[in-house]
Amino acid sequence: MESTAKPKVAVHKFSSCDGCQLAFLNLGAALMQVAELVDFTHFAEAGPLAPDAAVDIAFVEGSIATPDDLQRIARVREQSRFLVTIGACATAGGVQALRNLANAGEWIAGVYARPEHIHSLDRSTPIAEHVKVDLELWGCPVNGRQVLGALRALLFGVMPAQENDKVCMECKRRQTVCVMVTRGRACMGPVTRTGCGALCPSFGRDCYACYGPAENPNTAALARRFEGLGLVPEAVARRFLFINNGAPAFRDAGLKSGERHDG
């Protein structure tokens, strides 16, 4: 195959920590193989710079949180056949979406000595709120298995299998002992989307929902269970209003527990 015939891929960064891009950079030998299959036209963290070049697949990390983000995402969409969001920021607004629940102007004034230098939007929002997204990969951060699986499927011309089961399913497949049942830990696994391989419970800690809501999540039942385990409503609210606070299922559950606290 001639190198010019290779599909073109871009990896863009918006408002984020760069962690999801590491899912590519940490691939090791597999990254060499990826480089044989596709041309990375733009991947600032790895070298290539051509943010406005037309590509077959654009991986987008980060949320829309500044006026500049707003303009750039429109250009990225125009230049990409397929747009894939990677991570909690791009897919749900990220931890920085907590500002959506507060007065962002007041926060900035409280934190920065010269707030007039901060150019940010009042809200941090997911990519899909602004442009059409073809595929969303959840996780904070996403992992190599996910990005390779998505890339391989798209190169075949099909969508990757969707992963929307609860973390508990994978936890049990791994024969991990449940931390909620044996130790009363407030585990978010029963409402969280699988994809990480039930990592946290395998190290004896509770899931904090970095992969966002699973399909059909019963947040109300889990919130009641957390209260039964001794969490006050405010603490329950914090379990939901964390990395994926911008995902509607978690935001609504968190606000509801928060109201019980205030009321």
How many Å apart are CA 42 and CA 10, to the nearest integer? Answer: 5
Using the rule CB under 6 A, is 226 a contact of ligand SF4?
no
Using the rule CB under 8 A, is 252 a contact of another protein?
no
**Cβ nearer to ligand SF4, comparing 133 with 191:** 191
DSSP 8-state secondary structure symbol assigned to residue 57: E
3-state secondary structure of 160: coil
The distance of closest approach from Cβ of residue 216 to another protein in the complex, given in angstroms and rounded to an integer, is 5
Binding-site partner at residue 153 among another protein, ligand SF4, none, CB < 5 to 8 Å by type: another protein
Q: Please give the backbone phi and psi of residue 57, each rounded to the nearest 5 degrees, phi first.
A: -130, 130
Using the rule CB under 6 A, is 167 a contact of ligand SF4?
yes
Site residues for another protein, window 154-173 (CB under 8 A)? 155-156, 161, 164-166, 168-169, 172-173
How many Å apart are CA 169 and CA 44, to the nearest integer? Answer: 37
Binding-site partner at residue 215 among ligand SF4, another protein, none, CB < 5 to 8 Å by type: another protein
- 241 half-sphere exposure, CB direction, 13 A CA radius: 21
Token pair in block for residue 111: 């934190």
Burial of 49 from C-beta contacts in 10 A (0-12 / 13-18 / 19+): exposed
Of 6, 77, 130, 225, the one binding another protein (CB under 8 A) is 225
Going from the C-alpha of 247 to that of each of 7, 25, 78, 125, 137, the distances in angstroms are: 32, 27, 26, 10, 13
**Cβ nearer to ligand SF4, comparing 124 with 176:** 176
Using the rule CB under 6 A, is 196 a contact of ligand SF4?
yes
How many Å apart are CA 120 and CA 149, to the nearest integer? Answer: 34
Binding-site partner at residue 183 among another protein, ligand SF4, none, CB < 5 to 8 Å by type: another protein
Q: Which residues bind another protein (CB under 8 A)?
A: 30, 33-34, 37, 148-149, 152-153, 155-156, 161, 164-166, 168-169, 172-178, 180-184, 187, 189-191, 204, 215-218, 220-222, 224-225
